[in-house]
Structure 1
Amino acid sequence: MADTATPPDAASLTDVEAVETPPATAIQTEEKKKEEEDANLVTWDGPDDPENPQNYSRPRKFFITGIWIYGNLCATLASSIWSSGATQLKAQFHQSTIVVTLGISFFLLGFSIGPPLWGPTSERFGRKWPMTIGMLLFTIFTIPIAVGQNIETLLVSRFLQGAFGSAPLSLAAGGVVDIWSPAQRGIAIAACIGTIFGSPVLAPIIGNFVAESYLGWRWLHWLSAIQGASAVLLVFFALPETLASKILQARAAKLRKSGEKPEARTVFDNKKHMGFVDVARIYFMRPFALLATEPILVLITIYQSFIYGILYLVFVSYPIEYVEIRHWSLGLSALPFLGLSVGVLLGAAGVIWHTKTKFAATIRANGGKVIPEQRLPTMIIGGLIVPVGLFIFAWTSNPSIPWPGQVIGSIPTGAGMYMIFVQCFNYLVDVYAPIANSALGGNMLIRSSFAAAFPLFGPYLYHNLGVAWATSTLGFISIALIPIPIFFYIYGARVRSWSKNSVSTH
C-alpha cells in the first residue's frame, strides 16, 4: 500500500519552504525502523510458497477435498439411517410412529445449530481442530444411541449427534476455499453439498439390510460410530491446517521460539475475533431481518426448504409404499432408493456441465464478475422435471402396476431436487456474498425446520390420502413453485438493485 502520510503543514503542498527539511539522520532512522518492521512481518515466501495451501499439488488437493467429503458422508448417512430401524424401535420401546420419527427430526434440528457454533470456532482456531473435535463428539454421542435402553436417551443423543455432526457441513466450504482457486472451487463445493442429497438416499440401502439381519437396529448406529471414529483418525492424522492466518501465525511463533526473529508477527495478530454479540448479530438477529426484507432470500429459501423437506419425507413414504402396500421385505424395500441415487448423479453432472461451460462463459463475458442469475437455468430445468417424476411415482403406485414405473419416476425427481438445491445455495451465496453467513444462517434454519417437520406429518399425509394423491399433492406444490427461478432469471438484477445487501454486477 502506498505511503499516504499527511505532510506536517498543508502549506507544504504549495510552499516548499513552509516546512523545515528533516535532518538526514532522522530520515535514515525512520527508514531503518520501517525495514526492521517489514523484516519482522511474516508472509508467504513469494507466490510459489509450498506452504501456501493454494500451491498444494493437485493430488493433495483432491485428497484434502476427499476428507471433507468423507466427513459430510459420515454425518449425512447418520441423519437418515435411523429410519431403517424404525419398525424395530417401535416394537422394542412400544412407541408410536411419530415418536420414533422424532429421531430424524431431532437430528436435523441439531444440524441447524451448526453455523453459529462452528463458523466462529473455525475463524479463531482454524479448520483442523474444530473438525477433529466435532467428529469426535459426533462419534461419542452416537454410542448412546447404539446402547440406549429407552427412547428418551436415544432422542437426546440424536440431537447432540446432529449438532456435532454439523461440523463438516459448516466447515467444508471454508476448507475447500482455502485450497482451490475461484475457478476450480465450484465443483469441489458441489461435491461436498452433493453428500447432503446422496448420503441420506444411500443410508436406507445399507441400513435396511443390516436392520433386517441378525445384527438388528443397534448395529446401524455402531456402523455410524465406526465411520465417525475413522473420520476422526483421518482428520487428526491426514488433514493439514489450511487456514492462511493459522499457518502464518504458526510460522511466526516458530521464528520467535528459535530466536531467529524475536519480534516476528503477522498481519492477522491484531485481528478482532467474533465475540458473543457478533455471533448473535450475524447468525441470529441479522438472518431474521434479512428474511423480513429480502424477497430473493425469502422465496429461494421457501423453494429450497420444500425440496429439502421432500428429501426426508421419502424415508416415510418409501416404507409405506414398498413395505406396507407392496409387502416387500425390509432389505428389498431399500433398492428403489437407487433410482433417486441415479437421479442425484445425473443432476450433479448437469450442474457441473453448466458451471464449466455456460456459467464460466458468462463470467468471462462480464469481465470476471459473477452474474448470479446465470445460475438459474439449471434450477429452472430441475423445477420442471421434479413434478414429472413425482407424478410418475404417484400414478404407478398401485400394487397392480409393476414397480419399475416408480423407480423410473424417482430418477427425474432425484435429478431435479439436486439441481434446485445446489443452485439455490449457489445463487444465495452469489447474491449476498458480503453477508453470506447471515443469509445462509436464516436459510439453514428454515430449511432444517422443513426437513424436521416433513417426516412428522408424512405418515398422516400418506395414510389418509394414499400414496397416489399424497405424492400428487407434492407435485402440485412443486408446480406452483416453478415461477420463482423464472421470475428471478428475468427480473433478478432489478430486484437486487433495490437491496443494500446484495452484490452489484455492473
Structure 2
Amino acid sequence: MTEQEAQGITLNEMMKACVVRPLVFAVTEPVLVATCFYVCLIYSLLYAFFFAFPVVFGELYGYKDNLVGLMLIPILIGATFALGFTTWCETRYLKLISERRPTPEDRLLGAKIGAPFAAIGLWILGATAEKHVIWVGPASSGLSFGFGMVLIYYSLNNYIIDCYVQYASSALATKVFLRSAGGAAFPLFTMQMYHKLGLHWASWLLAFICTAMIALPFGFSMWGRELRHKLSKKDYSIDTIDA
C-alpha cells in the first residue's frame, strides 16, 4: 500500500486493499495472471536448479556438497551481468519516453531479451548432463539462466507496476503470492522428477515450458494494450493517466 492510499483510510478499507483486492485481481485480471505465471515459473526454476544440481553433480559426477554448491556460482555471475544490462534497458526506456508518451509494453524489452537466455540455460543443462562431459558444460547453464532470469523478473515487475499504477501494491501482492507458491512447490518434486525422467528429459521438459513462455513478452508487446482493454474489467495502466 502506498502512502497516498494509507492517508485517512479505515481498517476495513485497509483490509480490502491489502487482502481482498490482490485475491480479486488473481481471478479477474487475465493479463496480470499470465504475467505472474511467467514470474512464478522463472522463480520456481531458480529453486529447481538448487535441487537439480545435487542430482547432476552429486550423483552423476560424484562431487561432495561443497563442490556442488560452487556449481551455482555461474547463476550469480549471469545475474550480475544482467543487473549491469538493466542500466542499458533503463537508458533505452528514458530515451523512448522523452520522445513520446510511455505505455506499459515499453517495459517488456528486458523480458524479450532475457526469455530466450533462460530457456537456453535449461537446454544446455539437459544436453550436457553426461558423465563424459566436463563439469563446465552443465555448470555453464547457470550463466544463461541467471542472465535471463534477472532480466525477465526486472522487466515483468515494471510491467505489472505500469499496468496497475493506482493499485500497483495490490498487483504486486498477487505476483508475490503466486511466485512464492511456485517457489515452495517446486522443491517438493524436482529431485523425484529428475530421478524418474532422467537428467536429460527432466531438464528438457522444463526447457520446453520455458521456451513456450518466450512468446508472452513478445505477444504482450504487440497486443498487450488490446488484451488489457478487452480482458480487464477496468484499465488501471499509465495509459489512463492524463498527460
TM-score if structure 2 supplies the norm length?
0.91
The whole-number CA distance in structure 2 between the counterparts of 1:330 and 1:363 is 49
Query: Which of 417, 431, 442 is the matching residue for 2:163?
Result: 431
Q: Does residue 1:384 correspond to 2:120, yes or no?
A: no
| 3-state SS of paired residue (2:236) | coil
State the 1:486 CA deviation: 0.9
1:354 aligns with 89
Instruction: Say if 1:389 and 1:413, in contact at 8 Å, map to a contact too.
Output: yes
Distance (Å, rounded) in 2 between the aligned partners of 1:374 and 1:274: 36
Counterpart AA for 1:322: F
Separation in 1 of the partners of 2:7 and 2:73? 49
Which amino acid in 2 is paired with 1:328? Y
Residue 311 of structure 1: how far off its partner (Å): 1.0
Is 1:331–2:66 an aligned residue pair?
A: yes
1:403 lines up with 2:135 in the alignment: yes
Report 1:355-504 matches (<5 A).
355-356=90-91, 358-366=92-100, 369-498=101-230, 499=232, 500-504=234-238
Which residue identity does 1:413 align to in structure 2? F
**1:230-379 pair list within 5 angstroms:** 271-275=7-11, 277-356=12-91, 358-366=92-100, 369-379=101-111
CA contact (8 A) 2:165 2:238 kept: no
| Larger of the two Rg values belongs to structure | 1
* Residues in 1 aligned to 2:81 and 2:149: alpha-carbon distance in whole angstroms: 11
Q: CA deviation at 1:362?
A: 1.3
Q: What is the distance in 1 between the residues matched to 2:209 and 2:69?
A: 26
> What is the identity, as a one-letter code, of the residue corresponding to 1:495?
L
Which one has the bigger helix percentage? 2
Residues 107-126 of structure 1 mapped to structure 2, 5 A cutoff: none
Pairwise CA distance, 1:271: 4.0
Deviations 1:88-122 (A, max 9, x none): xxxxxxxxxxxxxxxxxxxxxxxxxxxxxxx58xx
Q: Distance in 1 between matches of 2:44 and 2:159?
A: 19
Consecutive unaligned residues of structure 2, counting only runs of 5 or more, are: none
User: Which of structure 1's runs of 4+ aligned residues deviate more than 4 A?
Assistant: none
Q: Is the 8 A contact 1:396 1:406 kept in 2?
A: yes
For each residue in 1:146-175, what CA deviation from the matched residue of structure 2 results, as whole angstroms up to 9, or x when unmatched? Answer: xxxxxxxxxxxxxxxxxxxxxxxxxxxxxx
Structure 1 contact 340–414 (Cα < 8 Å) conserved? yes
CA distance in 2 between counterparts of 1:392 and 1:401 reads 12
Greater relative CO, 1 or 2 (CA 8 Å, sep 6+): 2
Do the aligned partners of 1:435 and 1:501 also contact (CA within 8 Å) in 2? no
In structure 2, C-alpha distance between the alignment counterparts of 1:435 and 1:274, rounded to whole Å? 17
Count of residue pairs brought into register by the alignment: 237
The offset of 1:274, in angstroms, is 4.7
Residue 473 to residue 271, structure 1, CA distance change in 2 (3 Å): closer
